[in-house]
Structure formats: structure tokens, C-alpha cells
Amino acid sequence: MQAGPRHLTPDEFWNRVDETDERLRASFEPAGAFGLVEWPGFAMVTDWDYSGHTRVLSFAHELPPKDSPEERDPDRAPPVGTGRGEDAFEVHVHWREGDSRSVVERLRRRAERVDGGSQYRVLSPAEGLPDSIVPLALGGLEHPFELWERGDRWWAATTVGGRTLAVEARGVSPDAIALDRVTDVEPFLQGRRAWLRRVRSDS
């Protein structure tokens, strides 16, 4: 009879995390990533495509609360949230391939699902257009971003070198956002490990 699945031991789990961290480091260039400058809180990798298509760094004022004692697959992005449906992070910085408005539309649809809205609600043509253009600090200079606002949540996006740089935020003013290229991914890997230690019941 075929044996059923078993949980990883702590050593097996952290060996997999080590292996994944090495792959993340090795794949950092040439696509790189963008993040916030001098964020006063916690930050971690939440989505990372080894080919460089998608890079997401997420920021919270404090380490997000424990989601569940279940073991996580370190080859997958950690769940964004606390297990109760809401987003545990204040800011996500997306560095993605694709058209900026299409990227934002996907992010907005995902936010609707998190907030309990319909996955299939059709966005009107007007909704796809930005509400305004705002200057965000990028590399120490002001750069124009298209801005969409819905309640306390907003999305801003621009094109940099043929890729989309997008910010998804809630409860944070655009004036408080300063972006720059990430030169060292290590602090974000350490943040991810801190989150995983909190998730793990045997750590």
C-alpha cells in the first residue's frame, strides 16, 4: 500500500528554505527588484519568479501575525494575509513584465477577492483608467505614476525600462512612498525566514 504524505521534519524544512534562498540569490540579477526606502518596519519577499517575470517585496509596520501552524512549501510564495482574508501588509512593491494598466487590473481583481468581492465582476472601461497622475519618489527623483484609489486602498504604476513598477498600498499615503532599486536582497530573505519561523510551530 502506498504511504500517505508526511510532514517535513524541522531539519528537512529548513534545508529546503536554504536551497530556495540560494535560488533566489542566484536569480536576483539581471531583473533585480524595487523596494521602499527606509521603511520603518518589516519587509520580506512574497512573490519571486526565478525567470525574473515577477518580483514582489512586501512591507508591514510589524511582522505579520502567525497564519497557521501548517508547514509551508518554501518554493511557493508565503500567503499574503493572516488567514482571515485580509492583507497583513501595508505596501507591496511589484516589479513585473507586462503592460502597467493590465498589471494593476489584475492586482485590483485580486484585492476584490481578498475583500470578499466577486471574482468575475466586469470592470467598466472607465474603471480601467487612472483616477489621477501622482509624483512618487523613485531613485531620489519625482516620477509620474498613474494612480487608482478605492477606499483606503490604492494602486500606482509606471513603466521603467519596459517593465511595470507598481505599488499596492492601504492606509499609507502616496506622499510617504519612496522607491529605489534593491541592491541587496538579503534583508528580504531574512524577513521571509522570520515569517516562516513564526509560522512554524516547531521553531
**For the segment 140-182, what is each residue's pLDDT rounded down to a tens digit?**
999 999 999 998 899 999 999 999 999 999 999 999 999 999 9
* 4-18, 86-100, 151-165, 181-195: least confidently modelled range: 4-18
What would the grid cell of residue 98 be? Answer: 507586462
pLDDT value at residue 168: 97
Q: Starting at the earlier edge strand, list the strands of the sheet with 91-96.
A: 34-36, 178-181, 132-138, 141-150, 153-160, 163-170, 91-96, 54-60, 42-48
- Taking the mean position of all CA atoms in its chain, how far away is CA 12? 26
Q: Is pLDDT at 47 greater than 50 in this prediction?
A: yes
Give yes or no for a contact between 164 and 97, defined as CB atoms under 8 angstroms apart: yes
pLDDT value at residue 198: 87
Rounded average pLDDT over 77-82: 43
pLDDT value at residue 70: 35
- Domain boundaries in the chain? 10-199
Q: Is pLDDT at 66 greater than 70 in this prediction?
A: no
Task: Give the residue with greater pLDDT, 77 vs 57.
Answer: 57
What would the grid cell of residue 112 be? Answer: 476584490
Q: Which amino acid is at 107?
A: L
pLDDT value at residue 59: 97
The band of 53, judged by pLDDT with boundaries at 50, 70 and 90, is: very high
